[in-house]
Amino acid sequence: MIEIRNDILTAVDERKGELLQILEDLILFPTVSPPARNTTEAQRYIEQFLKDEKFKTESWDVYPNDPNVVGVKKGTDSNEYKSLIINGHIDVAEVGDDSEWTVPVFDMEVIDGFAYGRGTADMKGAMAAALFAIKLLNEHGVELKGDLQFQSVIGEEVGEAGTLSCIEKGYDADFALVMDVSNSEIHGQGGVITGWITVKSKEVFHDAMRLNMIHAGGGVHGASAIEKMMKIIAALLELERHWAVTKQYPGFPAGANTINPAVIEGGRHAAFVADECRLWVTVHYYPNETYEEVIAEIEEHLHHAAMADPWLKENPPEFRWGGKSMIEDRGEIFPALELNDRHEAVQTLKKSHEQIWNTSAKLGMSKTVTDGGWFGQAGIPAAIYGPGTVEEAHTVDEKINIDELVKFTKTLLVFIEKWCNTKKD
């Protein structure tokens, strides 16, 4: 297997200022999501960068003013050698009130070995590292026999499936590396799906009719949808506790598969008995499950709960699951990603990390969710590996350790050269 030349790794240290300049350039673009629809300029910067490094690029609007960018550098022997996707998202978390920030939000500052600014950890630091690695590989004339693909996607912060859009356009590879925050550990992840549960009356009643609904002999077979939703919430809590006892997965604390009743909406106004109530839930599930299986369990459990209630039996709950955008349709899916630690690419990544860090690579499960699950669902082997910590992501005075960013860049260089010069089976 080909080994990266020491002079390229040395160049990372010698030219660290260039790495930080790329990161500063990216931070200057306020690609906050929500509100989103603001990434065109940042994506143009990345697309031009890739073109300068001899990548063939394509961009398209996933949503207006929110384009994906994909660059592909064909290998010298693509049919015989492994291909690689390097994937990252260009959007950053919302800022809100910035009065507590002690550094500029979108003008990077370096203080005591850390780079500060929104997106430094999540995840423009990784994006800058990958772009710098691509630049060094090109400048040093490193031959890659397999294809190298760089994906800069939109919408990850609000469940907008920019990565899914790449897959739907036919972009694939023998392995995908998702550079989201993992503290430079190699991760899989659980999955998340949101859903809306609606309880709706077939009839609408004036508030004065409540007396006839709740007393013997009232003669009105009606109910408040808000009160009946309380039974649905109780049933969800019961199922959540059942899951905590009966399900488990290595790398997750007990009970990590939660059902969160996040938002409730209902009723018309005070002169009506509430004829409709909607509950927005967020469901976390384990890597060895699919969201389709989890949805089926929830709906079956709530069906039995409804059948035990005379009114809900005739007015059963309705369901709407998932979605491609928390902004556009108030729904999202993040499929789970099982980490295959025996996969050749994961082993290569592990050895690449150990070569640079001089310590064993840690394998585990992400505390959060990323776009990595879309690759797994599409049958593309994948892993999450990126600098920065979840604790820094989305925070006030967000920052990333520069030494970690430098080591991550070197690890990428080693991994890209090793993997893209590995013969296919």
- Residues classed as catalytic: 91, 156
Per DSSP (E only), the strands in 146-212 are 148-153, 176-178, 186-188, 191-200
Tokens of 281: 């839930």
3-class DSSP string for 282-346: EEEECCCCCHHHHHHHHHHHHHHHHHCCHHHHHCCCEEEECCCECCCCCECEECCECCCCCCHHH
Distance CA(30)–CA(8), nearest Å, equals 32
Q: Are 201 and 276 contacting, i.e. CB atoms less than 8 angstroms apart?
A: yes
Q: Give me the amino acid identity at 225.
A: A
Number of separate helices (H) and strands (E) present in the chain: 12, 16
Cα distances from 354 to residues 54, 258, 388, in angstroms, run: 30, 35, 18
Q: By C-alpha distance, which of 180, 175, 226 is closest to 381?
A: 175
Distance from chain centroid for Cα 306:
34
Q: Are 74 and 104 contacting, i.e. CB atoms less than 8 angstroms apart?
A: no
Distance CA(151)–CA(70), nearest Å, equals 5
